Amino acid sequence: MTDQPNTPQLYLITPVGAAASTVGPLIADVMDRFPVACLRIPGTGSEDELGRIADLAREIAHARDVAVVIDDHIQLALRHGLDGVHLTDGARSVRYARKELGPDAIVGAFCGSSRHDGLNAAEAGADYVSFGPCRSTALGHGEIAELDLFQWWSEMIEVPVVAEGALTPALIAQLAPLSDFIALGPEIWSEGDPAEALGMLWR
């Protein structure tokens, strides 16, 4: 991918529930083969294991000049020298996270399919807003972030937007002109060769 207008960057999500010893080689391989703009750690697991994953992810990502954020855990982000947080409660914690992490940290907000939540998060100072899932899935509330939401956001709002959740090559092609970042993770980690699977999605 190039830095031309309307060409999204790759936003990589680490495997959910994987041990640090497993995560390291997987993300290093993917990041050596694809240009990743940001790495996100899901916030599930014990504090100790998340801390180990955070340290490992930071070491791997920062060596490649890639920022690292973690879901929701502001104190873990501070303690382990991460670049910020990805908040899963829309706009509700944006101001608190900014106060705790400081002006230079990355504060992103997942807003599901809600234009209203996205606007509130942007007004509260989020560095990016994430919408998803982009097609039907049994996860979450079952509400889909439709293409017209991304179309409207890209035309009206300057805050960068991330597309995530249940993505396919066809959806990525449709979302690419409308999104600043495409978030991928669950789509590739269940495959035998995650980097190869990413190559099928990210062309």
SS3 of residue 54 by DSSP: helix
Residue 140's pLDDT is 64
In a domain, 20, yes or no: yes
Residue 17's pLDDT is 86
Determine whether 141 is exposed, middle or buried from the number of CB atoms within 10 Å of its CB (0-12, 13-18, 19+).
exposed
In a domain, 190, yes or no: no
SS3 of residue 36 by DSSP: strand
Exposure string (b/e) for 51-74, b if CB count within 10 Å is 16 or more?
bbbbebbbebbeeeebbbbbbbbb
Residues 123, 175, single domain; the answer is yes
In a domain, 60, yes or no: yes
Name the nearest CA neighbour of 125 among 91, 154, 101: 91
Domain final position from 24, 57, 76: 76
Determine whether 27 is exposed, middle or buried from the number of CB atoms within 10 Å of its CB (0-12, 13-18, 19+).
buried
Report residue 138's pLDDT band, with 50, 70 and 90 as the boundaries: low
Domain that holds residue 63: 8-76
In a domain, 200, yes or no: no
pLDDT tens-place string over residues 178-197: 999 999 999 999 899 999 99
In a domain, 94, yes or no: no
In a domain, 154, yes or no: yes
Residues 162, 118, single domain; the answer is yes
Query: At 163, which CATH number?
Result: 3.20.20.70
Lowest mean pLDDT among 101-105, 117-121, 137-141, 195-199: 137-141
In a domain, 187, yes or no: no
Residues 70, 107, single domain; the answer is no
Indicate yes or no: pTM above 0.85. yes
Structural domains of the chain, count: 2
Residues 176, 138, single domain; the answer is yes
